[in-house]
Homo-oligomer: A and B are copies of this chain.
Amino acid sequence: MDHKRATIKDIALALKLSPSTVSKALRDHPNIGVTTKERVKKLAEQLHFVPNQTAIRFKQQKSFTLGILIPSMLDHFYVAAVEGFEKFAYDNGYNVLIGQSHESLQREKELLLTMQSNRVDGLIIAISRETVDTTHINEFVQSGTPIVYFMRKPINEEYHCVCSDVYTGSIDAIAFFVSRMHKRIGFINASSYWTTSRDRFLGYRDGLIQHRIPFDKSLVQESDFTQESNFQATRRLMQLDKPPTAILAFKDQVMLDALSCLRRDFATRADSIELIGYGSNPMIQYLERPPLASLKEQPFEIGQKAGLLLLDLVNHPQTGYQPQLVKLPCELQVFSSYKQR
């Protein structure tokens, strides 16, 4: 057990070379002799030499690490986004530092500090539910580390962002509902501080307008994603004088809870209510009577795209002034049991 790891120095000493020569040899620097390179590499392998990233980072004043801040890994959507981001990062020689806010502003602030402390070269972030004020994020950016928002962008910030084109998604959903003769369409939305909520809403509203359906404020309810909140929103809709015959939900998790609520509390009417959510949660395939449809998003691609944009900012800090807004399309995916109706 060689408890002390081999360093460049060790190799240099053993081979009677200088550390700088060894360093260059290991990295195939052009002006090092072929034989020297061979000797160095051979010994390096024998000694199980592994370059010390810790030292390289320090020396280069660059962490080769990108950060990603998400609400929770228990949400399949964000896991997929992490996957895409990670793949992009690894392909470009970067590590990834993951942080979960668990929807807590306090935690988000702490994590931002951790990211700074670790000197991440850049960060992508989906803000927490509690994030109304964005001073802490602005300070982070001020300190020189570029960020890219993804999915959840503060509504009062103009900044780089990659997200789903939920506006068009909502338009499509409404059109599909209308084609199935629905005229009263409920909508369960999320935090009004996110552009992604606003865009969903605008699509919902404009979709109604396109089909000459009057907009009714009471048909729009807000939920915070907890099961209880999803249930309550559903109940509020169903207890209206003129309840909806169809519901568009902010995301599949909300839709599934709405479905549970309907079947439990409104059993007689449950089967006549049609539902569309966002996300295409893979578990839906296991339901015997799945909801009507889901707007399939592209979380993996969103993670990748956000990484691409971020790396560009990392390498060309001056491009930071013109905020980029990337929207990836959603696709309405109708579940099989409804297709042939």
Query: Is A273 an interface residue, CB under 8 A from the partner?
Result: no
> Complex Cα distance A285/B253, Å?
12
Interface residue total, chain A, C-beta cutoff 8 A: 47
Q: Tell which of A35-43, A54-62, A178-186 binds the partner.
A: A54-62
A5 on the B face (CB < 8 A): yes
Integer count of this chain's copies in the complex: 2
| Pairwise interchain contact B139-A114, C-beta atoms closer than 8 A | no
Contact segment of A45-53, A188-196, A239-247: A45-53
User: Given the complex of chains A and B, what is the CA–CA distance between A180 and B116 in angstroms?
Assistant: 58
A2-B143, A58-B58 known; A119 and B286 CB under 8 Å?
no
Q: Which residue of B lies closest to A57 (CB)?
A: B54
- What residues on B are CB-neighbors of A285 within 8 Å? 260
Does A144 make an interface contact (CB < 8 A)?
A: yes
User: Contact between A3 and B144 (Cβ–Cβ < 8 Å)?
Assistant: yes
Kindly state whether residue A73 has any CB partner on chain B within 8 Å. Answer: yes
Q: Does A334 contact B (CB under 8 A)?
A: no
Known A-B contacts A48-B143, A58-B54, A73-B82; A287 and B289 likewise in contact (beta carbons under 8 Å)? no
Alpha-carbon gap, A57 to B57, bound state (A): 10
Cα separation A339 to B76 with both chains bound (whole Å): 30
B residues within 8 A CB of A268?
none
Shortest CB distance A249–B (Å): 14
Q: Map CB proximity to B onto A64-94 as digits: 1 under 8 Å, 0 otherwise.
A: 0000000001101001101100100000000
What B residues does A51 contact at CB under 8 A?
117
Q: Is A157 an interface residue (CB 8 A)?
A: no
Contact across chains for A52 and B117 when beta carbons are under 8 A apart:
yes
CB-contact partner of A286 in B82, B95, B259, under 8 A? B259
- C-alpha spacing A117/B283, complex, angstroms: 37
Nearest B residue to A56 via CB reads B117
A1 CB-CB contact with B under 8 Å: yes
Interchain nearest-CB distance for A92 vs B (Å): 14
On chain B, the residues within 8 Å of A55 by CB distance are 58
CB-nearest residue of chain B to A97: B95
Smallest Cβ-Cβ distance to A110: which chain B residue: B90
Distance of A258 Cα from B156 Cα, bound (Å) = 49
The reply to whether B95 and A118 contact each other, CB–CB distance below 8 Å, is yes
Q: Does A13 contact B (CB under 8 A)?
A: no
Q: Please indicate the chain B residues that have their CB under 8 angstroms from the CB of A144 in the complex.
A: 1-3, 5
- Whole-angstrom distance between the alpha carbons of A63 and B53 in the complex? 10
Instruction: List 5 additional A-B contacts (Cβ < 8 Å) besides A53-B117, A54-B118.
Output: A2-B143, A52-B119, A86-B100, A256-B286, A263-B288
